[in-house]
Homo-oligomer: A and B are copies of this chain.
Amino acid sequence: MTSEAAFIRALRAIATDPAARGLTDDAAVLELGGARLVLTMDAICEDVHFLADDPPATVAWKLVATNVSDLAAKGAEPRGCLLSYALTDADAWNEAFLQGLQQACEFFAIPLLGGDTVRPKSGAGRNFALVAFGEPRARMPVPSRSGARSGDTLWLSAPVGDAGAGLALLQGKRQTDSPAQHQLVDRYRKPMPRVDLGVALAPYVTTMMDVSDGVLIDSERLASASELAAVIQLDKIPLSPAFAEVFGEDLEARLFAASAGDDYCLLFTAASDAAGALERVARNLHSTLYPVGHFMEGKGISLMFDDVAVATPDRLGFEH
Protein backbone atom coordinates (compact mmCIF):
# COMPACT_ATOMS: atom_id res chain seq x y z
CA MET A 1 0.00 0.00 0.00
CA THR A 2 3.03 2.26 -0.21
CA SER A 3 2.02 4.22 -3.30
CA GLU A 4 -0.18 7.28 -3.02
CA ALA A 5 -2.58 5.68 -5.48
CA ALA A 6 -2.97 2.60 -3.29
CA PHE A 7 -3.46 4.72 -0.18
CA ILE A 8 -6.15 6.77 -1.91
CA ARG A 9 -7.91 3.56 -2.97
CA ALA A 10 -8.03 2.58 0.69
CA LEU A 11 -9.31 6.04 1.64
CA ARG A 12 -12.02 5.74 -0.98
CA ALA A 13 -13.58 2.88 0.95
CA ILE A 14 -14.05 5.32 3.83
CA ALA A 15 -15.10 8.39 1.85
CA THR A 16 -18.45 7.08 0.68
CA ASP A 17 -20.47 10.28 1.10
CA PRO A 18 -21.67 11.63 -2.28
CA ALA A 19 -20.06 15.01 -1.48
CA ALA A 20 -16.66 13.26 -1.58
CA ARG A 21 -17.18 12.52 -5.30
CA GLY A 22 -15.43 9.20 -4.71
CA LEU A 23 -12.16 11.08 -4.11
CA THR A 24 -11.71 11.02 -7.87
CA ASP A 25 -12.18 14.74 -8.19
CA ASP A 26 -9.99 17.65 -7.11
CA ALA A 27 -12.50 18.99 -4.65
CA ALA A 28 -15.45 18.01 -2.51
CA VAL A 29 -18.82 19.59 -3.21
CA LEU A 30 -20.98 20.05 -0.15
CA GLU A 31 -24.65 21.06 -0.20
CA LEU A 32 -25.82 23.06 2.80
CA GLY A 33 -29.33 24.37 2.83
CA GLY A 34 -29.52 26.43 -0.34
CA ALA A 35 -25.75 26.92 -0.59
CA ARG A 36 -23.11 24.78 -2.26
CA LEU A 37 -19.52 24.82 -1.11
CA VAL A 38 -16.50 23.53 -3.02
CA LEU A 39 -13.69 22.45 -0.67
CA THR A 40 -10.13 21.55 -1.52
CA MET A 41 -7.03 20.85 0.56
CA ASP A 42 -3.48 20.83 -0.74
CA ALA A 43 -0.34 20.30 1.26
CA ILE A 44 3.15 21.21 0.13
CA CYS A 45 6.39 19.72 1.41
CA GLU A 46 9.95 20.94 1.15
CA ASP A 47 11.96 19.09 -1.51
CA VAL A 48 8.75 17.70 -3.01
CA HIS A 49 6.56 20.66 -3.94
CA PHE A 50 9.08 23.42 -3.36
CA LEU A 51 12.83 23.73 -3.01
CA ALA A 52 14.54 24.47 0.30
CA ASP A 53 16.01 27.67 -1.12
CA ASP A 54 12.86 28.95 -2.81
CA PRO A 55 12.04 32.41 -1.45
CA PRO A 56 9.57 31.86 1.43
CA ALA A 57 7.11 34.40 0.03
CA THR A 58 6.80 32.27 -3.12
CA VAL A 59 6.24 29.13 -1.04
CA ALA A 60 3.23 30.83 0.55
CA TRP A 61 2.08 32.05 -2.87
CA LYS A 62 2.30 28.53 -4.28
CA LEU A 63 0.35 27.08 -1.35
CA VAL A 64 -2.51 29.53 -1.90
CA ALA A 65 -2.35 29.38 -5.70
CA THR A 66 -2.45 25.58 -5.96
CA ASN A 67 -5.61 25.52 -3.87
CA VAL A 68 -7.19 28.43 -5.75
CA SER A 69 -6.38 26.52 -8.95
CA ASP A 70 -8.61 23.65 -7.77
CA LEU A 71 -11.43 26.09 -7.05
CA ALA A 72 -11.02 27.65 -10.51
CA ALA A 73 -11.29 24.21 -12.12
CA LYS A 74 -14.58 23.68 -10.31
CA GLY A 75 -15.91 27.08 -11.41
CA ALA A 76 -15.96 28.25 -7.79
CA GLU A 77 -15.18 31.74 -6.51
CA PRO A 78 -12.91 31.74 -3.44
CA ARG A 79 -14.63 32.45 -0.12
CA GLY A 80 -11.89 31.67 2.40
CA CYS A 81 -9.02 29.49 3.48
CA LEU A 82 -7.49 27.93 6.59
CA LEU A 83 -3.75 27.39 7.05
CA SER A 84 -1.87 24.68 8.89
CA TYR A 85 1.61 26.08 9.54
CA ALA A 86 4.62 24.21 10.86
CA LEU A 87 6.47 26.84 12.85
CA THR A 88 10.26 26.81 13.18
CA ASP A 89 12.63 29.26 14.83
CA ALA A 90 13.60 30.80 11.48
CA ASP A 91 12.01 34.19 12.14
CA ALA A 92 12.97 35.82 8.87
CA TRP A 93 11.61 32.83 6.95
CA ASN A 94 8.31 32.93 8.83
CA GLU A 95 7.95 36.67 8.28
CA ALA A 96 8.66 36.43 4.57
CA PHE A 97 6.19 33.54 4.30
CA LEU A 98 3.51 35.68 5.93
CA GLN A 99 4.17 38.52 3.51
CA GLY A 100 3.75 36.15 0.59
CA LEU A 101 0.61 34.73 2.20
CA GLN A 102 -0.92 38.16 2.53
CA GLN A 103 -0.05 39.07 -1.06
CA ALA A 104 -1.52 35.85 -2.41
CA CYS A 105 -4.70 36.08 -0.31
CA GLU A 106 -5.22 39.63 -1.56
CA PHE A 107 -4.37 38.82 -5.18
CA PHE A 108 -6.75 35.86 -5.31
CA ALA A 109 -9.36 37.56 -3.10
CA ILE A 110 -9.41 34.64 -0.67
CA PRO A 111 -9.63 35.74 2.97
CA LEU A 112 -7.60 33.82 5.53
CA LEU A 113 -10.12 32.67 8.15
CA GLY A 114 -8.15 30.51 10.55
CA GLY A 115 -6.08 27.40 10.88
CA ASP A 116 -3.58 25.88 13.22
CA THR A 117 0.06 26.51 14.03
CA VAL A 118 2.16 23.60 15.23
CA ARG A 119 5.79 23.24 16.11
CA PRO A 120 7.07 19.89 14.82
CA LYS A 121 10.18 18.31 16.24
CA SER A 122 13.32 19.73 14.69
CA GLY A 123 14.79 18.10 11.60
CA ALA A 124 11.44 17.72 9.88
CA GLY A 125 11.29 19.42 6.49
CA ARG A 126 8.92 22.34 6.22
CA ASN A 127 5.41 21.40 5.30
CA PHE A 128 2.19 23.31 5.16
CA ALA A 129 -1.41 22.58 4.32
CA LEU A 130 -4.12 24.89 3.17
CA VAL A 131 -7.83 24.34 2.83
CA ALA A 132 -9.65 26.59 0.42
CA PHE A 133 -13.37 26.81 -0.07
CA GLY A 134 -15.42 28.58 -2.63
CA GLU A 135 -18.88 28.88 -4.11
CA PRO A 136 -20.01 28.06 -7.63
CA ARG A 137 -22.34 30.57 -9.26
CA ALA A 138 -26.00 29.94 -8.51
CA ARG A 139 -27.55 27.17 -10.62
CA MET A 140 -24.25 26.56 -12.46
CA PRO A 141 -22.91 23.00 -12.59
CA VAL A 142 -19.68 22.15 -10.74
CA PRO A 143 -17.51 20.44 -13.37
CA SER A 144 -16.03 17.08 -12.43
CA ARG A 145 -13.49 14.75 -14.03
CA SER A 146 -16.17 12.52 -15.49
CA GLY A 147 -18.85 13.38 -17.99
CA ALA A 148 -16.95 13.79 -21.26
CA ARG A 149 -18.54 12.32 -24.38
CA SER A 150 -16.89 10.66 -27.33
CA GLY A 151 -15.98 13.36 -29.85
CA ASP A 152 -15.50 16.08 -27.22
CA THR A 153 -12.58 18.42 -27.82
CA LEU A 154 -9.82 18.62 -25.19
CA TRP A 155 -8.70 22.16 -24.38
CA LEU A 156 -5.96 23.93 -22.47
CA SER A 157 -6.39 27.44 -21.12
CA ALA A 158 -2.72 28.47 -21.32
CA PRO A 159 0.71 27.45 -22.59
CA VAL A 160 2.28 24.69 -20.49
CA GLY A 161 5.82 23.64 -19.60
CA ASP A 162 7.07 26.94 -18.20
CA ALA A 163 6.99 25.79 -14.59
CA GLY A 164 8.62 22.46 -15.41
CA ALA A 165 11.28 24.31 -17.37
CA GLY A 166 11.88 26.64 -14.43
CA LEU A 167 12.27 23.69 -12.08
CA ALA A 168 14.73 21.98 -14.47
CA LEU A 169 16.78 25.19 -14.56
CA LEU A 170 16.72 25.52 -10.75
CA GLN A 171 17.80 21.89 -10.39
CA GLY A 172 20.64 22.38 -12.88
CA LYS A 173 19.21 19.76 -15.23
CA ARG A 174 19.21 22.38 -17.96
CA GLN A 175 21.35 25.49 -18.40
CA THR A 176 20.81 28.66 -20.35
CA ASP A 177 22.14 32.20 -20.53
CA SER A 178 18.83 33.52 -21.82
CA PRO A 179 17.06 36.17 -19.74
CA ALA A 180 13.92 34.08 -20.39
CA GLN A 181 15.12 31.79 -17.61
CA HIS A 182 13.88 34.24 -14.98
CA GLN A 183 10.40 34.14 -16.41
CA LEU A 184 10.41 30.33 -16.37
CA VAL A 185 11.64 30.18 -12.76
CA ASP A 186 9.01 32.72 -11.79
CA ARG A 187 6.32 30.55 -13.38
CA TYR A 188 7.53 27.59 -11.29
CA ARG A 189 7.46 29.57 -8.08
CA LYS A 190 4.35 31.67 -8.63
CA PRO A 191 1.53 29.81 -10.36
CA MET A 192 -1.21 32.09 -11.69
CA PRO A 193 -4.50 30.19 -11.76
CA ARG A 194 -7.39 32.02 -13.42
CA VAL A 195 -10.56 31.92 -11.32
CA ASP A 196 -12.43 34.25 -13.69
CA LEU A 197 -11.81 31.89 -16.57
CA GLY A 198 -12.81 28.76 -14.61
CA VAL A 199 -16.05 30.36 -13.47
CA ALA A 200 -16.90 31.59 -16.98
CA LEU A 201 -16.05 28.27 -18.67
CA ALA A 202 -17.87 26.03 -16.17
CA PRO A 203 -21.29 26.22 -17.89
CA TYR A 204 -19.82 25.05 -21.23
CA VAL A 205 -17.51 22.17 -20.28
CA THR A 206 -18.22 18.46 -19.92
CA THR A 207 -15.21 17.88 -17.61
CA MET A 208 -12.64 20.22 -16.09
CA MET A 209 -9.58 19.97 -13.84
CA ASP A 210 -6.41 21.96 -13.29
CA VAL A 211 -3.08 20.75 -14.64
CA SER A 212 -0.91 20.03 -11.64
CA ASP A 213 0.90 16.85 -12.62
CA GLY A 214 1.22 17.29 -16.38
CA VAL A 215 -1.11 17.51 -19.37
CA LEU A 216 -0.64 13.88 -20.38
CA ILE A 217 -1.34 12.28 -17.02
CA ASP A 218 -4.14 14.71 -16.23
CA SER A 219 -5.74 14.10 -19.65
CA GLU A 220 -5.58 10.40 -18.96
CA ARG A 221 -7.31 10.99 -15.63
CA LEU A 222 -10.16 12.89 -17.32
CA ALA A 223 -10.46 10.19 -19.98
CA SER A 224 -10.38 7.38 -17.46
CA ALA A 225 -13.01 9.01 -15.20
CA SER A 226 -15.17 9.47 -18.30
CA GLU A 227 -14.50 5.88 -19.47
CA LEU A 228 -13.08 7.12 -22.75
CA ALA A 229 -9.73 7.34 -24.54
CA ALA A 230 -7.80 10.57 -25.07
CA VAL A 231 -5.96 11.50 -28.26
CA ILE A 232 -3.45 14.33 -27.83
CA GLN A 233 -1.93 16.27 -30.71
CA LEU A 234 1.46 17.17 -29.30
CA ASP A 235 2.12 19.71 -32.06
CA LYS A 236 -0.84 21.68 -30.70
CA ILE A 237 0.48 21.82 -27.11
CA PRO A 238 0.83 25.57 -26.59
CA LEU A 239 4.27 26.84 -25.60
CA SER A 240 5.26 30.27 -24.33
CA PRO A 241 7.89 32.30 -26.23
CA ALA A 242 10.18 31.98 -23.17
CA PHE A 243 9.84 28.20 -23.14
CA ALA A 244 10.38 27.92 -26.89
CA GLU A 245 13.47 30.08 -26.69
CA VAL A 246 15.17 27.91 -24.05
CA PHE A 247 13.72 24.44 -24.74
CA GLY A 248 12.73 24.66 -28.41
CA GLU A 249 9.46 23.55 -30.02
CA ASP A 250 10.26 20.07 -31.32
CA LEU A 251 8.66 16.80 -30.29
CA GLU A 252 10.99 16.39 -27.32
CA ALA A 253 10.24 19.89 -26.07
CA ARG A 254 6.49 19.37 -26.40
CA LEU A 255 6.65 16.01 -24.64
CA PHE A 256 8.57 17.69 -21.85
CA ALA A 257 6.02 20.51 -21.65
CA ALA A 258 3.09 18.08 -21.63
CA SER A 259 4.46 15.92 -18.83
CA ALA A 260 6.24 18.42 -16.58
CA GLY A 261 3.39 19.53 -14.32
CA ASP A 262 2.96 22.54 -12.02
CA ASP A 263 1.17 24.45 -14.78
CA TYR A 264 -2.01 25.22 -12.80
CA CYS A 265 -3.94 26.16 -15.90
CA LEU A 266 -7.26 24.59 -16.89
CA LEU A 267 -7.69 21.35 -18.83
CA PHE A 268 -11.22 20.60 -19.97
CA THR A 269 -13.43 18.92 -22.52
CA ALA A 270 -16.41 20.33 -24.35
CA ALA A 271 -18.66 19.31 -27.21
CA SER A 272 -17.07 20.24 -30.53
CA ASP A 273 -19.91 22.65 -31.34
CA ALA A 274 -19.18 24.61 -28.16
CA ALA A 275 -15.92 25.97 -29.61
CA GLY A 276 -17.44 29.31 -30.65
CA ALA A 277 -18.99 29.94 -27.24
CA LEU A 278 -15.77 28.94 -25.45
CA GLU A 279 -13.66 31.25 -27.56
CA ARG A 280 -16.06 34.14 -26.94
CA VAL A 281 -15.79 33.54 -23.20
CA ALA A 282 -12.01 33.55 -23.40
CA ARG A 283 -11.85 36.67 -25.57
CA ASN A 284 -14.04 38.57 -23.11
CA LEU A 285 -11.48 37.72 -20.42
CA HIS A 286 -8.50 38.62 -22.64
CA SER A 287 -7.45 35.01 -22.78
CA THR A 288 -6.86 32.34 -25.40
CA LEU A 289 -7.93 28.69 -25.40
CA TYR A 290 -5.99 25.92 -27.14
CA PRO A 291 -7.61 22.74 -28.55
CA VAL A 292 -5.03 19.98 -28.01
CA GLY A 293 -6.91 16.77 -28.78
CA HIS A 294 -10.17 14.91 -28.41
CA PHE A 295 -11.81 12.05 -26.59
CA MET A 296 -13.08 8.90 -28.29
CA GLU A 297 -14.41 5.46 -27.43
CA GLY A 298 -11.76 3.26 -25.86
CA LYS A 299 -9.19 3.46 -23.09
CA GLY A 300 -5.86 5.09 -22.39
CA ILE A 301 -4.04 7.88 -24.13
CA SER A 302 -2.53 8.11 -27.62
CA LEU A 303 -0.21 10.79 -28.91
CA MET A 304 0.15 12.33 -32.35
CA PHE A 305 2.70 14.80 -33.73
CA ASP A 306 1.94 16.37 -37.11
CA ASP A 307 -0.57 13.57 -37.81
CA VAL A 308 1.96 10.82 -37.05
CA ALA A 309 1.50 8.50 -34.07
CA VAL A 310 4.09 8.92 -31.34
CA ALA A 311 4.94 6.31 -28.70
CA THR A 312 3.48 7.15 -25.30
CA PRO A 313 6.31 7.76 -22.80
CA ASP A 314 6.56 5.60 -19.69
CA ARG A 315 6.22 8.64 -17.52
CA LEU A 316 3.13 10.71 -18.32
CA GLY A 317 3.65 13.22 -15.56
CA PHE A 318 4.52 13.84 -12.01
CA GLU A 319 2.75 11.96 -9.23
CA HIS A 320 2.99 13.96 -6.07
Residues of A within 8 A of B (CB): 1-2, 4, 7-8, 10-11, 13-17, 19-21, 23, 25, 27-28, 30, 32-35, 37, 39-49, 79-80, 82-87, 89, 91, 94-95, 98, 101-102, 105, 111-121, 123-125, 127, 129, 131, 133, 135, 320
* Copies of this chain present: 2
Say whether B91 contacts A116, CB under 8 Å. Answer: no
Min CB–CB distance A65 → chain B (angstroms): 15
Known contacts: A20-B112, A114-B41, A129-B43. The answer to whether A14 contacts B49 by CB under 8 A is: no
Say whether A47 contacts B129, CB under 8 Å. Answer: no
Min CB–CB distance A101 → chain B (angstroms): 6
Q: Please, which residues of chain B bring their CB within 8 A of the CB of A95?
A: 1, 10
Q: Please, which residues of chain B bring their CB within 8 A of the CB of A83?
A: 11, 41
Say whether B14 contacts A112, CB under 8 Å. Answer: yes
Say whether B102 contacts A40, CB under 8 Å. Answer: no
Say whether B39 contacts A114, CB under 8 Å. Answer: yes
Report the nearest B residue to A88, measured CB to CB: B2
Say whether B7 contacts A87, CB under 8 Å. Answer: yes
A35 to B31, CA, bound (A): 10
Contact of A119 among B4, B17, B33, B120 (CB under 8 A): B4
Q: Please, which residues of chain B bring their CB within 8 A of the CB of A131?
A: 39, 41, 82, 131
A125 to B119, CA, bound (A): 11
A13 to B121, CA, bound (A): 27
A98 to B7, CA, bound (A): 9
Say whether A91 contacts B1, CB under 8 Å. Answer: yes
Q: Please, which residues of chain B bring their CB within 8 A of the CB of A10?
A: 94-95, 98
Say whether B94 contacts A7, CB under 8 Å. Answer: yes
Min CB–CB distance A75 → chain B (angstroms): 16
Known contacts: A1-B94, A34-B33, A98-B14. The answer to whether A116 contacts B20 by CB under 8 A is: no
Q: Please, which residues of chain B bring their CB within 8 A of the CB of A32?
A: 32, 35, 37, 79, 135
A33 to B31, CA, bound (A): 12
